[in-house]
Amino acid sequence: MIFRVEATVNLTENEEKVKKAIQNLFGNLILQTKPSRQGSVLTAETKSQEPLIKFKTVLQNEHIRDAARKALFSGQTDKTVRFCLNKQVAFVGHVSFSQEEAESPLGPIIVTIETENPAQLVTWMAPKTGAQHRD
């Protein structure tokens, strides 16, 4: 399993705030800063499950596992799960999925997880609750 996260830091944004947004949802990742035309890009990559454990806990605490399950399954391909999150919402410690990158005015937090069994990973991160009637 390989976990990757990426977020653009626009010239109008504070890099520390974007780092905090990512760390609120995925824990203390070691983030690298790369220059870009819009400002910079924060990235992290790890084979550790720690970011997913933290994210799973946030989903559980937010009581949004059913919505998360739907968003995660919609971003699933053969060997990956990819999804986008709103940076501003993440900064205050909450989760808001974006269907497309354009939905987040300052750009999203983009998460890509490579795994042999994406469906199993989604089911682990966001197990069905009694409130969900169907997938």
Q: What digits encode the pLDDT tens for the residues 48-58? A: 999 999 999 99
- Contact at 8 Å (CB) between 60 and 73? no
Q: What digits encode the pLDDT tens for the residues 64-106? A: 999 999 999 999 999 999 999 999 999 999 999 986 656 667 8
Count of beta carbons in the 10 Å neighbourhood of residue 93: 14
DSSP state of 49: S
Cα–Cα distance, 94 to 86 (Å, whole number): 9
Q: Spell out the domain ranges in the chain.
A: 2-125
Give the confidence band of 16 by pLDDT, cuts at 50, 70, 90. Answer: very high
Provide the whole-model pTM.
0.92
> Of 2.60.40.10, 3.30.1440.10, 2.60.40.420, 3.40.640.10, which CATH number belongs to 2-125?
3.30.1440.10
Query: Residue 101's pLDDT is what?
Result: 59
